[in-house]
Structure 1
Amino acid sequence: MPGSPSAAGASAPVRYRFPAEWEPCGAVWLAWPHNRDTWPGHFEPVPSAFAQFVRAILQSTPVRILATGAVAEDCRLRLRESGLAESDILQIVDIPTNDCWVRDYGPTYVIAQDGRKVAVHWHFNAWGGKCEPFDADAAAGAKMAKWAGLPRLDGALTLEGGALETDGAGRLMVNPGCLLDPARNPGLSKERISQQLNHFLGIHEIVWVDGGAPAGDDTDGHIDQIARFLDPRNVVCAFAGSDEDPSFAGLEANYRKLRLWSRQTEPGVTVHRLPTPPPRELDGAAVPQSYCNFLRLGAERMLVPTFRSPECDERALALLRELCSGVEVVGVDCFDIAWGLGTLHCASCHEPAGPAA
């Protein structure tokens, strides 16, 4: 049945658990933007927008920023201009990068059976070889784990963090286009990939969400632009408000598939449509805009991208506040960042609280 879950080695012993983002957060990692080709002709406002993102995170959570050399100096300057300075809770870490999308090349943090934290370092090849160079990004995850004093597991798959969404209890939402991809994992079957996700993340149920992604997406459909868990019983799914939107058919197919799955899984799940803003283009290219790309900072806070579309922005914030009772839902302007084809979740890598193993 389309959208139905698949087993992921449920009979195997669970050695590690992939925690949900609403669990306690120890720190958020960012990578300072410096690659002008990511925002061709529109880079100038981006560093200041990142500084405001840093400020928003720091209201509750420590921040670690990957930057080296001249990039680190620019980072310090922009932070000072925003009234921020290095401290115990705002650290610049001397690790080079090619680009800022640390969600995708940073580690996936898991909790071992003894309750301690471990970093899974997947293979990274820039979304199936779409961008060159990517050598620094491919090496950054291992360096992040070493800097934090965490043991590292070398993941057996080529994948990106933005392709994975969990409820923290063994269920996972993914888009098969990001994993069953000959440019990422040639020759690997769905069953083999499921076994690896079980081994490294403790996943026992996968729902494959493959309808489509927002227009402009260049990741082959990262789930963090499509659908997210709010808690074990509620999922939001990106939805185009008009059938004239080029994303309408694909996003509606995702919603239908998730609805089918929601009636089969345990505990049961309610799927809520989270409308996207009107389509936007810049220099003739579609800009992917999805409120699903929020960053959850533990149980108390959620940072949500906004796109200077006041009516749509407020509607999305209001829905998330209604569904996440007791959570501080904060809008963060991502109008400029989004031209790089990602926003808050794509540009961050959250590290759960807990001791190193």
Structure 2
Amino acid sequence: MDVLLPEWSPRRALVLRWPTRNDIWPYQAQAAQAATLTLLSSLAPLMAARDIQLQLEVVPEPTERFAALRQQLPSSIDMVPSGYADIWIRDCAPFYLGDPTSGDASATIVTDFNGWAGLDTDFQYDIQARTELCRRFQLNPQHLPIVLEGGSLHTNGQGLIVYVASSVLDRRRNPELTTAEFESVLREYFGAKTIIRLPQGLQSDETGGHADNLLAFLSPTQCVLSMPASGHIDYAQAVSYQRMLEQAGMDVMPVAQPALNLSAEEADSIVRREGVMSREAGMPLTASYTNGIRIADIYVVPQFGVPEDAQVLAQLRARCPDLTLVPAPARDILVGGGGWHCASHAVV
């Protein structure tokens, strides 16, 4: 039986997007752009060595800015003109099913998307960009008429699927969908054999709760889990989630969850616009080391400029010696509402 493929299954390409919007990003998106350049420069030789295409979708206007960016990027990176809304490609991207042994894909599924229940009213441009991506890679997706964001679930590639109910079963997303109906969808269309229902995401998660801020599978039997400090509002929940994963046979590695906030300077530099969530000084940021990129034998480890960065890297090196770890600055991406997992999509 085919299952939802894991992120380490064979992939043709890794796709990211160039941040530009000044109504989401501080400092005219310049800090987020610098972080993106750093990551792309680190990934380019690794992707080339593994014969995985690295693409960057870019809003092509103005023309001179597009040309200038081409000069800054490694030559192996393909720049693709695109009309997306924002960089969070994961949540409106296809899902892939296939053989869990070979990793060969047999089906592609796309679902509905409504801008995280109205968080961003420009979401229709992300749907258009997904159509362009499917055409570019000659995908022939099946459409499933439910709102299901890519970050809201995770899989170990062996039929175990973890999802967050607070986002998937949100009345603003799927007003008529019940738990039983959704889990039936997971079994019928996504090959789920075991399902773990996580009731809530992190309190600071503006999506309403995504799995990629809570955990990441590094192999069929191992996952990392975001663990806040004792006394944090999310601590008891994290402990219960660790127990649930362990009961399902997972080797769980708890990693620190840094406490970060949007600064007044950052908030003041964001342009206010109707139809886009207002980002206020002091608001908590959802910093999570699980919101990284797992592809081939690589794990991109978010870095936030805090002491926990080195601690988590050391944990991963000790527990996952076969992984190639790529530390990547994520603080300036985080302020726009997501992490590197949210900002990436690997095409089967």
Q: TM-score range by the shorter chain?
A: 0.7 to 0.9
Q: Residues of 2 paired with 1:28 and 1:251: CA distance?
A: 33
Alpha-carbon distance, 1:60 to partner? 2.2
Aligned position for 2:24: 38
SS of alignment partner, residue 243 of structure 2: helix
- Give the 3-state SS of the residue equivalent to 2:144 in structure 1: strand
Q: Aligned-pair distance for 1:112?
A: 6.6
CA contact (8 A) 2:291 2:342 kept: yes
**1:273-284 map, 5 Å:** 273-283=254-264, 284=281
**Amino acid paired to 2:13:** A
2:78 counterpart of 1:94: no
Residue 234 of structure 1 aligns with an amino acid whose one-letter code is Q
1:226 and 2:200 aligned? no
Query: How many Å separate the matches in 2 of 1:164 and 1:72?
Result: 37
* Separation (CA, whole Å) in 2 of partners of 1:338 and 1:194: 31
Give unmatched runs, 5+ long, in structure 1: 1-13, 353-357
State how far apart, in whole Å, the 2-side matches of 1:19 and 1:313 are: 29
Per the alignment, residue 355 of structure 1 pairs with none
* 2:69 pairs with one of 62, 68, 78: 78
Match of 1:8 in 2: none
1:101 corresponds to which letter in structure 2?
Answer: W
1:224-263 residue pairs with structure 2 within 5 A? 224-243=212-231, 248-263=232-247
Shift in CA distance, 116/173, structure 1 to aligned 2, threshold 3 Å: closer
Name the residue aligned to 1:9: none
1:171 aligns with 2:155: no
Deviations 1:232-284 (A, max 9, x none): 222221111242xxxx2324313323313422x3xx21222111123333232
What is the correspondence of 1:315-330 to structure 2 with a 5 Å cutoff? Answer: 315-330=311-326
Pick from 139, 159, 167 the counterpart of residue 148 of structure 2: 159
> Is the CA contact 1:118–1:150 (under 8 Å) kept in the aligned structure 2?
no
Letter in 2 for 1:258: Q
Q: CA deviation at 1:213?
A: 0.6
- Contact 1:34–1:71 at 8 Å: present in 2 too? no
The change in CA–CA distance for 1:251 and 1:105 in structure 2 (over 3 A counts) is farther
Percent sequence identity over aligned pairs: 25
Runs of 4+ in 1 over 4 A off after TM superposition: none
SS of structure 1 residue aligned to 2:82: coil
The verdict on how the C-alpha distance between 1:189 and 1:174 changes in structure 2, with shifts beyond 3 A counting, is: same
Counterpart residue number, 1:286:
284
| Deviation string, structure 1 residues 309-340 (Cα, Å, up to 9, x no partner) | 1x210001111122212111121011211111
Quickly say closer, same or farther: Cα 1:186–1:278, change in 2 above 3 A. closer
SS of the residue corresponding to residue 290 of structure 1 reads coil
Alpha-carbon separation, structure 2, partners of 1:104 and 1:182: 18
Counterpart of 1:313 in structure 2 is 309
Q: What does the per-residue CA deviation read over 1:169-206, in whole Å, with 9 as the maximum and x for residues that have no partner? A: 11111110111111111111111111222233211221
2:108 corresponds to which residue?
119
Counterpart for residue 299 of structure 2: 302
For residues 184 and 195 of structure 1, the distance between their equivalents in structure 2, rounded to whole angstroms, comes to: 18
Code of the residue aligned with 1:129 in structure 2: it is G
Instruction: Tell me the TM-score normalized by structure 1.
Output: 0.84
The whole-number CA distance in structure 2 between the counterparts of 1:289 and 1:69 is 30
- Mapped partners of 2:64, 2:167: distance in 1: 35
Summarize the Cα distance change of 1:73–1:256 in structure 2 as closer, same or farther, 3 Å threshold: farther
SS in 1 for 2:46: coil
Q: Partners in 1 of 2:69 and 2:169 — Cα distance?
A: 40
Letter in 2 for 1:306: Q
Secondary structure of 1:292's match?
coil
Q: Given the alignment, which residue of 330, 335, 348 partners 1:334? A: 330
User: Secondary structure, in 3 states, of the residue corresponding to 2:335?
Assistant: helix
Structure 2 counterpart SS, 1:131: coil
What secondary structure is seen at the aligned counterpart in 2 of 1:36?
A: coil
Q: How does 1:191-230 map to 2 (within 5 A)?
A: 191-213=180-202, 215=204, 217-230=205-218
Once the 2 structures are TM-superposed, how far is the Cα of residue 137 of structure 1 from its aligned partner? 0.5
Question: Is the alpha carbon distance of 1:154 and 1:38 closer, same or farther for their aligned partners in structure 2, counting shifts above 3 Å?
Answer: same
If the length of structure 2 is used for normalisation, what is the TM-score? 0.86
Per the alignment, residue 65 of structure 1 pairs with 56
Q: Contact between 1:214 and 1:289, CA under 8 Å: does it hold in 2?
A: no
The question of whether the paired residues in 2 share the 8 Å contact of 1:211 and 1:252 is answered with: no
> Is the contact between residue 245 and residue 252 of structure 2 (CA under 8 Å) also seen in structure 1?
no
Q: Is the 2:259–2:284 Cα contact (8 Å) retained in structure 1?
A: no
Residue 10 of structure 1 corresponds to none
Shift of 1:39: 1.2
